[in-house]
Structure 1
Amino acid sequence: MIKAIAKKHWEKLAKLGYGSRGLMYLMIGGLALMAALGLGGKTTNSKGAIEILLSQPFGQIYLAVLIIGLMGYVGWRAFQAIADTDNHGMNVKALAIRAGLLASAISHTLLTIWAIKLILGASSNDNNNLGEWLSSEESLVFLAGVGVILLAVGTAHIFKGWKARFDKYMDVPTAQRIWVIPLCRIGLLARGAAWIILGVLFLQSALATQKNNMKGIDDVFTLLSQNYAGAWLLSAMAVGLCAFGCYSVLEGFYRRIHA
C-alpha cells in the first residue's frame, strides 16, 4: 500500500518535471519569436526565462512550483540513469545514454540551486568565482570538452527526432498521434540543431581563448540573427524550441514512468 502511494506521487513529480522543462523552453522560444517578429521580447536562456517568470505577478509562487517540478525532473533523470528504468543495458552505447541522463540531472540540479537562490533574494549576477576560473588556462580544456559533448548531444537529439525513437517510451493515444509525433520530432530536431551550434561556439571560445564568457542558447539566437536571413532563421529556431517545449509538456502527459 505504502509502496503504491509512493510510486503514484513519484510519477506525478516526474511528470511535473517534464512540464517544468517544457515551460522554460516555451518561454525561451516564445520570447525569441517575438523578438524576430519585432513584437518586443528578447533572446534569452533558461536562467533568463526564470528571471522573467519571477518578475510576473505572483512570480514567487510560480517559481516555487517550477522549482518543485525541476527537483522532480532531476530525481527522475538520476533514477533513469542509475536504475536503468528504460532497459538500455550495459554496453558502450547504453552507458553513453545513461551518462547523458546523469549529466542532464546534474545540469538541472545546478539550475534548480540557482533558482532557489534567486527566490531567496540572491543576485542573479553572483558568478564572480566562475568568471575568475573561466579566465584561467585550465578552462581551455573545459570549454573544448563541453563543445565536443554538446556536439554529441545535439547529434543524438537529431537522430532521436529523425527516427522518432522517443515514441517507444510514450503512450500516445491513436487519435492524437497525427499531430503529437510530428510536433515532437520538430522539437527534438530544433533542440539538436541548437546544441550543435552551441557546441561550435564553445569550441570557438576554446580556440580563441575567449574564456570569460559562458555560452548559452541566447548566443545561438544572436548568431542566427546576424545571418543575412537572420529574422527567418531566428524565427525557425524559436518555433522549433517552442515545439520542444510542447514535446516536454506532452512527455508529462504520455511518458511511461517506471517508478
Structure 2
Amino acid sequence: MMDGAARWGFAARGVIYLLIGILALRIAFGGGGEQADRGGALAELAKQPMGSVLLWALGIGMVGMALWRLSEAIVGAAGPDGRKPGKRLMSAGRFLFYGFVAYSVLAFAAGEKSSGSGSGDQESQDITARALNWPGGQWIVGIAGVGIVAAGLWIGARAVMRSYHKHLKLGEMSHRTRKLVDVTGVGGGAGRGILFAAIGGFVIQAAVTYEPDKAKGFDDTLRSFTDTPAGPWLLALVATGLVLFGVFSFAMARWRRV
C-alpha cells in the first residue's frame, strides 16, 4: 500500500515542479504573468481539460507522499540506516511539509481557491512578520534563513554527488535511461538547491534589516534572478532545473526503492 502511495506522491510532486518550471521559463522570456509557485501551478492545472479531476488526483498523490513519510518516521525508511533517529526525524519533518501541501491542493480542488493559489510571497512575508515580533524574533528568523540556505546547499551538493543512486533500482534501468536520470537528477537537484539557498538569503536579509517584506517565496525569488548581471538567463537556467527536477520525480515514481 505504501509503495503505491509513495509512487503516486512522487508523480504528483513531479507535476507541481514541472509546471512551476514552465511558468518560470515563461517569465524569463517575457511571456507570462502567472505566479511561478505552487499556487500558479494549481491555477494552470485547473485551466486544463478535466482540470478538477487532475487537481483531486494531485492532492491524493500528495496525501500518499505524506503518509509514506509518516510511515518512515514510525517504522523507519528503507536501507541499512533507515531506522536511525536522525532519519526518522527528517521523515517526520517531510510528513508535516507534504501534509501541508496536500491540504492546500485538496482545499483548492474543493473550491477554496485562496487555499492553494494564494501568493507564496505574501505567505512568506506574513510568517516572517509574525516571527519578527516574537521575543528574539530577529535571531529566530535569521537562524531559519541560515537553515534554509544550508538545506539548499545540501540539496544541490547531494544531487551533484548523485547520492540519490542509493535509493534507485539502478539494475532495472538501461544504460541510456540511467544517463537520462542522472541528467535530470543532477540538473534538477542543483536548480532546486539554488532556489532554496536564494530564498534563505532573502529570509536572512529580512532578519538583519527587520523588514519582513524582504522575505520572498518561490515567485519573487525566481523573478529576482533577472536582476542579476546574468539577467533572464539565470532565471531560465534555474527554471530549466525545476523542469528537470519534475522529470526526475517521475523517474523516482518508477524506480525509487520504497
Q: Normalising by structure 1, what TM-score?
A: 0.84
**CA displacement 1:184-242 (0-9 Å, x = unmatched):** 11111111111111111111112222236763221221210111322110100000111
- Match of 1:134, as an amino acid? A
Which structure 2 residues correspond to residues 19-168 of structure 1 after superposition, within 5 A? 19-40=11-32, 42-86=34-78, 87-88=80-81, 95=86, 97-124=87-114, 125=118, 131=126, 134-135=129-130, 137-138=133-134, 140-168=138-166
SS at match of 2:208: helix
What secondary structure, in the 3-state scheme, does the structure 2 residue paired with 1:144 have?
Answer: helix
2:164 partner SS:
helix
Structure 1 residue 122: deviation in Å?
A: 2.2
Percent of paired sites with the same residue: 26
Q: Is the 8 A contact 1:47 1:111 kept in 2?
A: no
- For residues 52-78 of structure 1, the C-alpha deviation after alignment (integer angstroms, 9 at most, x for no partner) is 222333221111000110001111122
Checking the alignment, whether the CA contact within 8 Å between 2:9 and 2:65 is kept in structure 1 is yes
- The answer to whether the Cα contact below 8 Å between 1:32 and 1:41 also exists between their aligned partners in 2 is no
Q: Deviations over 1:101-134 (max 9, x none)?
A: 3222211211211222222222415999x94883
- For these two proteins, the number of residue pairs brought into alignment is 245
CA RMSD of aligned residues (A): 2.5
- How far apart in 2 are the matches of 1:21 and 1:211? 29
Residue 156 of structure 2 aligns to which amino acid in structure 1?
I
Aligned mates of 1:53, 1:231 — CA distance in 2: 25
Whole-angstrom distance in 2 between the partners of 1:180 and 1:39 = 29
- C-alpha change, 1:242 and 1:132, in structure 2 (3 Å) is closer
Gaps of 5+ in 2: none
Structure 1 pair 121/46, CA: closer, same or farther in 2 (3 Å)?
same
- Give the letter for the 1:44 counterpart: A
Deviation at 1:182, TM superposition (A): 2.4
Whole-angstrom distance in 2 between the partners of 1:105 and 1:28: 22
The residue number in structure 2 matching 1:4 is none
Which residue type is aligned with residue 215 of structure 1?
A: K
- Gaps of at least 5 residues in structure 1 are 1-8
TM-score by length of 2: 0.85
The range that moved more, 145-154 or 97-106, is: 97-106
Q: Label 1:131 to 1:195 Cα distance change in 2 as closer, same or farther (>3 A).
A: closer
Question: CA contact under 8 A between 2:10 and 2:65: conserved in structure 1?
Answer: yes
Structure 2 CA distance for partners of 1:62 and 1:151, relative to 1, 3 Å: same
Q: Give the counterpart letter for 1:179 in structure 2.
A: L
Per-residue CA shift, 1:111-167, capped at 9, x if unaligned? 211222222222415999x94883461154443233122122112212211211100
2: CA distance, partners of 1:81 / 1:156: 21
State the distance in 1 between where 2:127 and 2:37 align.
Answer: 22
Deviations 1:31-86 (A, max 9, x none): 11122123336451122212222233322111100011000111112222332223
Residue 69 of structure 1 aligns to which amino acid in structure 2?
Answer: G
Q: Please tell me whether the aligned partners of residues 205 and 215 of structure 2 are also in contact (alpha carbons under 8 angstroms).
A: no
